Amino acid sequence: MMIIIIIVIISTVDVLIGVIITVIIIIVIVIIIIIIIITIIVVTAITIAVLVSSSCTFEDDMCTWNDVSRGSFEWVRGRNGNNATESGPSIDHTMGTANGWFAYIHSSNGTGTQHASLENRVIRQTSSTCQLNFWYYISSKSFSNNINVELHESDIITSLMRYTHKSNVWQQATVAIGKVSRPFRLMFYGTRSFSLRSDVAIDDITLTDCNFPKPEEHCEKYEFHCKNKACIDSSQICDLSNDCGDGSDENDCDEFNSCDFDFGLCDWSQDWNDDFDWTRTSGETLSYSTGPKRDHSTGTGTGYYIYTEASSPRKKGEKARLYSPVIGPPSSNECWIRFFYHMNGFQMGTLNVYTRTSVFGKYEKLWTKTGHVADYWERADVQLTSNQKFQVVFESIIGGYSSDIALDDVSFLPGCDISDNNEKLPNGTEPKTTPRPCPIGLYSCRDGTGCIQYTNVCDFEKNCNDKSDEDVCGDCDFESGLCGWTDYSIGKFKWASHQGDTMGKIGPAKDHTTNSIKGILKLNMIDPVTGKILKNLYSQKKDLGNAWVKQSVKIGAHERGFSLQFQALPQTQSGTLTITTDIAVDDLKLINCDPAPIRIHTTPTTTPGKHSKTTPGKHSKTTPGKHITTKPGKTPTGSSS
C-alpha cells in the first residue's frame, strides 16, 4: 500500500511539473507576441512621426533637419536678406514677410567649392505615392550655386534632383520619392559659389502622401484586406510592390508569374533580329539627365532593372525588343500584364507593348507611350486577349541621346497560362511591310496626302490640306477627346475626362460647354509630377464653389518649343490624401497667340518739332487668354505643345 501511495504522489508531481512548464511556455509565447506587436506599433509610430516632423517652416528652429556640413560653409537659419549679408531673400516663403525664417547657405562662408549638407532623421520606409515638396531660392548673383536632393541608404547615395535655376523669387520644387523599402535619409546638398554675394535658401519642406493606408474594419468588395487591416485595391496584389505596408499583399504569390530582374531576365528573352539589346543594371544609367537612378523594387540604387541605353552608338529610330514566355489562349478576361516603366528625358522615344502569335507574324499593338513622363516609376496595366498561343513583346524605340527607357517589376495575373517548358511559337509567314506615309522626322497629315516638318505643327499656320496640323494645339471643349492635351501625372491620381457628377460628388454636375449632363468634365485627383517649370502663369488656391468660373491668363511672347501645363493638388490632411476636392477645366482657348508680324501704320508729317506717330494695328499682340482652373500645386499635369 505504501508503495502504491508513493507512486501516485510521484505521478501527480510529474503532472504538476508538466502543467507548470506548459503554462510557462504559453506565457513566454504570449509575451513574445506582445513584444512583436508593440515593436511593430512603435516602429510604425516612429516612421509616421518622422514623416510628419520632417515638415519644417524654420520659424522656430531647424526641426528634425540637421546640418552635417564639414567646415564653415553650412546650413543655418536666416531672415530678411540673411541679416548681415543682405544678399539672400528679403522675405521667407511661409509668412511672406521679412520676419519669417528660412534655412540658407551663403558663399561668404567657406572656401573653394565646399559643400553644405542638411540631413533629416532616418525614415523606415515610404509608400509609392511619397513626395518631397519644398520652396527654394537661388540668388541671381550666384555663379555656380545649386541645390541637390539626395537619398542616402546605407553607403549608397542616390541623387534624386538637381536645381540650378537662378531667380530672386521663391520657386516651388517637387521630388518624387516613391516607394523605398529600406531605412534611408534625405539630404539637401549645396555647392559653394565663387561669388561672395550669392545665396541658396530653402523653406517650407514637407513630405506628403508617404504613409501607408490606415487600418479599416471593413474593405470594399474590390479591395484586399491586409494583415495590418489596411485596404488596398485588389489589382495591387502580388505586383512586387509593398502597398499594404506590412508586405502581406506580396505573400502567397506563387500563381503570379513575375520578374524583378534582380537575378537576371527570368523567362524573358532578347530579340536577335532587332537593332540592339535591353541591358540589366542597377543605379544610374550611363547617359546624363535621362534614365532612372534606382530600381522600383527597392527604391534604392542597389536594386536591378532593365533599360535601353540611348547614347552612342545608338541612333534615332533604332529598336530593342524583349519577348515573354509563350502564353496560352486566355479562358477569361483575367489575363493582364502589369509593369513599371521609367521614361525621363527631353528627347524621349517610345515604349510599345505588342502581342504576336508567330515568330514572323504581325505585331498587335496593345499599349504605347511616347515622350517624357517623369523621373519616376509609373505603373501600367494591359489586358491580354488572344484565341491562339502568343507572346508579349516590349519594344523600345530610341528618340535621342536623352531617351533611356527602363522596365521593372513585370508580373502576370494568374489568368495568364504561362508556358513553363520553353515552348516556341510557330514561325508563320513574314508579313509584307507597309511603306511609311512619311520619312522619319516628318509629320504625316491625317488624310495621308502630305508630309511637313514637325516645327510646322501647332505654329498657327495650316500647312496640311486637311488642317490636321493645327487641330490638337490647345483649344479644347473635351467633347471628343483631349485635343492633344496629354496627362503626364504620375502615380494613382490623374486627369480624366468625365461626364456629369464627378466621382467625389464635389465637382461640377454639368460641363460648361453645353451646360447639360451630356457635356464632358476634366477631373483631377492628384499625384506627384516632375519637370522644369519655366514660368508660373496662374495660381488659384481658393474654394470657388460648385460653379464654373471663367479665367483669362496672359501668356505673352515666347520662343518656339514650349508647352502649357495644368497642374493641380487636392487638399491634404496631415500628409494623407483626401478625396474632398475636385478640380475641373473645360473650354480651353488660345486667343491672339498667332505670331504674325505686327502691322505698323505711319502718317508722315512736316510739322516742325513733331514726329510721326506709330500706332500698333489690329494684329499687334494683346493680352492673350485661355480658360483655366487651378494650379495650386505640383500635381497632376496635363500638357500641350
Q: Is the peptide bond before 431 cis (omega within 30 degrees of 0)?
A: no
Quick check: is 478 in a domain?
Answer: yes
For the chain, how big is the Rg over CA atoms in Å?
A: 30
pLDDT at 565: 75
C-alpha cell at 25: 511556455
**For range 376-402, the mean pLDDT:** 93
Tell whether 420 and 313 lie within a shared domain: yes
CA distance 141 to 166: 8
Tell whether 74 and 33 lie within a shared domain: no
Q: Are 80 and 104 in contact (CB under 8 A)?
A: no
Query: 142 pLDDT exceeds 80?
Result: no
Query: 402 pLDDT exceeds 60?
Result: yes
pLDDT at 476: 83
Query: 6 pLDDT exceeds 60?
Result: no
Does this model's pTM top 0.75? no
Tell whether 412 and 271 lie within a shared domain: yes
Q: Which residue has the higher pLDDT, 607 or 451?
A: 451
CA distance 487 to 428: 38
Q: In which band, very low, low, confident or very high, does the pLDDT at 463 lie, cut at 50, 70 and 90?
A: confident
Tell whether 176 and 299 lie within a shared domain: no
Q: In which band, very low, low, confident or very high, does the pLDDT at 397 lie, cut at 50, 70 and 90?
A: very high
Tally Cβ neighbours within 10 Å of residue 233.
14
Tell whether 71 and 36 lie within a shared domain: no
Q: Which residue has the higher pLDDT, 609 or 556?
A: 556
Tell whether 70 and 35 lie within a shared domain: no
User: For residue 453, what is the domain's CATH number?
Assistant: 4.10.400.10
CA distances from 169 to 136, 140, 568, 597 (A): 8, 9, 21, 33
pLDDT at 206: 92
Query: 84 pLDDT exceeds 80?
Result: no
Quick check: is 520 in a domain?
Answer: no
User: For residue 84, what is the domain's CATH number?
Assistant: 2.60.120.200
pLDDT at 601: 47
pLDDT at 395: 97
Tell whether 72 and 182 lie within a shared domain: yes
Tell whether 455 and 354 lie within a shared domain: no
Query: 527 pLDDT exceeds 70?
Result: no
Quick check: is 231 in a domain?
Answer: no
Q: What are phi and psi of 369, to 5 degrees?
A: -145, 130
- Which positions ≥6 away from 412 have C-beta within 8 Å? 256, 257, 258, 327, 335, 336, 337, 338, 418
Q: In which band, very low, low, confident or very high, does the pLDDT at 631 lie, cut at 50, 70 and 90?
A: very low
CA distance 172 to 529: 12
Residue 479's domain comprises 434-485
**Looking at the 3D structure of the chain, how many domains does it have?**
4
Tell whether 61 and 171 lie within a shared domain: yes
Tell whether 481 and 396 lie within a shared domain: no
The secondary structure of residue 347, as a DSSP letter, is T
List the strands of the sheet with 486-487, edge to edge. 486-487, 637-640, 564-567
Quick check: is 537 in a domain?
Answer: no
CA angle 319, 352, 394 (to 5 degrees): 70
Quick check: is 270 in a domain?
Answer: yes
Beta-strand runs (E) in 268-363: 269-270, 279-282, 304-308, 319-323, 327-328, 336-343, 350-356
Q: Are 392 and 353 in contact (CB under 8 A)?
A: yes
Written as one letter, the residue type at 351 is L
Tell whether 411 and 465 lie within a shared domain: no
